[in-house]
Amino acid sequence: MSLQLTDAAAGKILSLLESQDNAATHLRIFVSGGGCSGFQYGFTFDEEVKEDDTVVESQGVKLLVDAMSLDLIKDSEVDYQTSLQGESFVIRNPNAGSTCGCGKSFTPSETSGGCANAGY
């Protein structure tokens, strides 16, 4: 089970973590209920590594992911993109069932715990 970061995502995360001025801070990626399609991705800073967390290392960045979320985003790629709509993290999940028009929520596929591409 892997979670990969693109160069753009790793660079942005490292920049954001440096602005936190706290070496114990990590980026947490999570999945929560909500959005047009039932689930949505979330990103937050967190200093606490919880008991059910997996620490995922990619491109020199440590990410925190809880067990339920990891099951839904396994084998995904996290990217950071700039467009006319602004800047956002984008998750490309090969286990996607479907996404909604806003691109920020998803429905897990029937054959896996996976989800879809979403931007934040």
Q: Please give the chain's pLDDT, 120 residues, in tens.
A: 578 999 999 999 999 999 988 888 999 999 888 766 678 889 999 999 999 999 999 888 999 999 999 988 889 899 999 888 788 888 888 776 776 655 566 677 764 444 444 444
CATH number of the domain where residue 88 is located:
2.60.300.12
Task: Compute the residue count for the chain.
Answer: 120
φ, ψ for residue 11 (rounded to 5)?
-60, -45
The domain in which residue 83 lies consists of 3-119
Quote the distance between the C-alpha of residue 83 and its chain's center: 19
3-state secondary structure of 17: helix
Beta carbons of 115 and 93 less than 8 angstroms apart: yes
Name the domain count of the chain: 1
- pTM of this prediction exceeds 0.85: no
